[in-house]
Amino acid sequence: TKDGECVTVVTTKDASSLQEISNEYNANLVIGADGMNSKVRQCLHNAPPGTWSSNCVKSTKFQPKTYTSPASFLRIKVLQLPPQFEIPDANGKPPLKTFSQDIYAIRSVNTGPRTFLSLGLLPMKDNEAVRPTNIITRPDHGIWKITNGKSMREYFQQAFPRFNFQEGGLISNQEWDRFAKAEGTRFPPCQYSPGLAVWDESGRSGVALVGDSIHAFSPDIGQGVNAGLMDVVCLDRALAGFDDVESGNDNDTTATDKTKKQTTSTTLEANLQRYQKQHAPEIAALIRLARFGAPYQYKQPHRADRALRLVWTANVAMRLLLNKVSFGVIQPPCIILSQNEDLTFRQVMRRADRTTALLKTIVLAGLTLWAKRRFGLALFRALP
């Protein structure tokens, strides 16, 4: 709620004990960083007309825009493997010893839509630590129907026959039991909130959103933490009076100008306006990147997934090839561009869109030439 020149926050549950309580806190600026199901964002969406300044974005802008990507709603849970475990060789050669700093993807012998499994291991710093192994599947996979450790161990032994998953083998019975009973979690859909901030009529109090409260997506582009931290950086720049919150450029160079900026009564309003105006398009571009960047890296095994993965792979390969033969004039795929720390998400998607426009033009020109040769010029002369 808004009260004069401050924002009043009313909590109904204690964060640690979850007991029903009622606390009130007053602040000039409230920052909502409470996750993809943000209560702060919901309050802004449900705010009665006139609660905030008429210069703010409409309350409907705090209703998240949601999109489904091929990685949305995949289920994941983690199996703990011992440190430096060995991968047996199928040809009788010495086994491969694993190291924490390396990435591994171990595929099962099962290849069916509901039986294929992949053991995914990401790099770690401690070579003596237990290796968490990601198991990521479609929700209809067979492992989600197994609830006891013995059956799960037998299932994995059949899927990965090289490993010793027998009783007393590589993984303990306790770990198999824990893994079988674990519900895991699901990847979220790609969503973002067009609204990032509000302020009152006085311009002295307001609310801003950062992190998952304004964007959420599956982890395939590896930008979740980076995007959340960048929200904080951009909000900090806005509150400090920077003209460009994305790059950090500030055209006000004199100490007097900066002092005036921070003492005027409308400073908070102007700064939150700048955060809303400049950072909202960046969030929209981030979600586009999340939808199209690398959604098939989990090798989803449904037949439709396999067909679409071939299309996605061909698109990426073609863009990489065009980038090479054009000596960099044609941009590489957006997932490659996103690794350039000097580019914003908007710049990444703009460059990818230019390549898309070029490819569409080439295809359209090719179809036009084919049609002219196939049907002759009479058809084209007859068109208005």
Cα(197)–Cα(61) distance, integer angstroms: 10
pLDDT of residue 264: 35
Write down how long the chain is: 384
pLDDT of residue 311: 95
Could you read off the pLDDT of 30-72 as tens digits, one per residue? 999 999 999 999 999 999 988 898 889 999 999 999 999 999 9
pLDDT of residue 261 exceeding 60: no
8 Å CB contact between 180 and 165: no
Mean per-residue pLDDT for 348-368? Answer: 93
Q: For a pLDDT cut of 70, what percent of the chain falls above it?
A: 88
Residue 152 CB burial class (10 angstroms; 0-12, 13-18, ≥19): buried
pLDDT band at residue 21 under the 50/70/90 scheme: low
Cα(252)–Cα(242) distance, integer angstroms: 8
Mean per-residue pLDDT for 13-21? Answer: 60
Structural tokens at position 80: 């703990």
Could you read off the pLDDT of 93-104 as tens digits, one per residue? 899 999 999 999
Residue 20 CB burial class (10 angstroms; 0-12, 13-18, ≥19): exposed
Cα(111)–Cα(129) distance, integer angstroms: 31
**Tokens 């694993």, located at residue:** 98
Q: Give 96's strand partners.
A: 87
8 Å CB contact between 156 and 165: yes
Average pLDDT, the chain: 88
pLDDT band at residue 251 under the 50/70/90 scheme: low
The pTM for the full model equals 0.85
8 Å CB contact between 262 and 241: yes
- The three-state DSSP-derived secondary structure of 219-265 is HHHCCHHHHHHHHHHHHHHHHCCCCCCCCCCCCCCCHHHHHHHHHCC
Cα(118)–Cα(79) distance, integer angstroms: 12
pLDDT of residue 267 exceeding 90: no
Residue scoring higher pLDDT (242 or 251)? 242
Mean per-residue pLDDT for 215-237? Answer: 94
Structural tokens at position 140: 């209809």
Task: State the pairing for strand pair 118-121/104-107.
Answer: antiparallel
8 Å CB contact between 286 and 65: no
Mean per-residue pLDDT for 122-137? Answer: 94
pLDDT of residue 23: 75
Cα(39)–Cα(21) distance, integer angstroms: 16
8 Å CB contact between 210 and 163: no
pLDDT band at residue 377 under the 50/70/90 scheme: low
Helix ranges restricted to H, 7-148: 39-45
pLDDT of residue 227: 94
pLDDT of residue 253: 46
| Cα dihedral 54, 56, 60, 64 in deg (nearest 10) | -170
CB count within 10 Å of CB 355 equals 21
pLDDT of residue 263 exceeding 50: no
Q: Could you give phi then psi for residue 244, rounded to 5 degrees? A: -120, 105
Give whole-number Cα distances, 184 to 187, 193, 226, 280, in Å.
Answer: 10, 26, 24, 32
Residue scoring higher pLDDT (341 or 24)? 341
Could you read off the pLDDT of 281-310 as tens digits, one per residue? 999 999 999 999 999 999 999 999 999 999
The secondary structure of 52-68 as a DSSP string is: S-TTSPPGGGGS-EEE-
Structural tokens at position 256: 């007097």
